[in-house]
Structure 1
């Protein structure tokens, strides 16, 4: 998956995985492939565990009480997951940036992708653009990618 300038693909993947968490490593791999990630090695249970850790951290970002707490939480995710940016054409799909070390397992890749994508999304679109659905009883998470930045519902 190439990160677009606003991190939209990464935050949408995070929301999709957070709202319906994968039950096992195979499901995680299938859903990541469907989202456009290139998986270069077998996916193990440890990848699922790490991905769920990333989603737990990400949901704390979504539920932050203000933009300062949100920034602090994203920065902690970045510190735990990201490396210096590097150009790569690893899958022959064109040059793009990775914000992680080469040859990482899927769980670490997702932690990095979600961290950096969330930072890009919030910095580029607005610190308020992650939230839970406003419908009573709905706890779904979504990334607001609307033109106006005023989305309140998950669908």
Structure 2
């Protein structure tokens, strides 16, 4: 384990959110898409289920996409701004089968504020741990999805949104076969 379990969960949620717009698709086109995303990621708390909420989550996605590929100083600026704007107040909580972990917003806060706070807290751990190199983009030429590398040897190169790794491995195999034959 590289990070605390709640940090890894939050980072994976950030990846899912960013990749919901990868490769020219809009994975949060409607309220039902946001509902499905939040259910899959285990987000709880109050919801307005209106267009403004959906728009605010899409705006957060743009911010997190910029943060993902930012240098450390820029990432720190974005993380601090997200925490400041959400009026984050870190607290230890225990709920829904989770042992003690950090929350920095109340369940009644707007959804985008809760999401940005969780993302910012997780990314603060990444920055403090000098692990920014674990935040990558997919190495497939035709993919712009992001990758979270939690492997020990820092070897993850391809995203989980499609079959980028499989396509790259097949292409490399065929190239080797062509060179040998």
**TM-score higher than 0.5 here?**
yes
Equivalent pairs, count: 152
- Report the counterpart of residue 35 of structure 1 in structure 2: 41
**Matched-pair contact (CA < 8 Å) for 2:107–2:114:** no
Is residue 2:88 matched to residue 1:83? Answer: yes
- Report the counterpart of residue 116 of structure 1 in structure 2: 121
Deviation per CA, 1:48-100: give whole Å up to 9, x if none.
Answer: 11111211111111122x32222222222222235111233465765542111
Offset of residue 40 of structure 1? 3.9
**Matched-pair contact (CA < 8 Å) for 1:47–1:108:** no
TM-score normalised by L of structure 2: 0.70
CA distance in 2, matches of 1:92, 1:42: 25
TM-score normalised by L of structure 1: 0.81
Unaligned runs of 5+ in 1: none
Which structure features the higher share of helix residues? 2
Considering Cα pairs closer than 8 Å and 6+ residues apart, tell me whether 1 or 2 has the greater RCO: 1
1:1-150 matched pairs, under 5 angstroms: 4-5=4-5, 7-20=7-20, 21-64=27-70, 66-89=71-94, 95-124=100-129, 126-150=131-155
Q: Which is higher, the Rg of structure 1 or of structure 2? A: 2
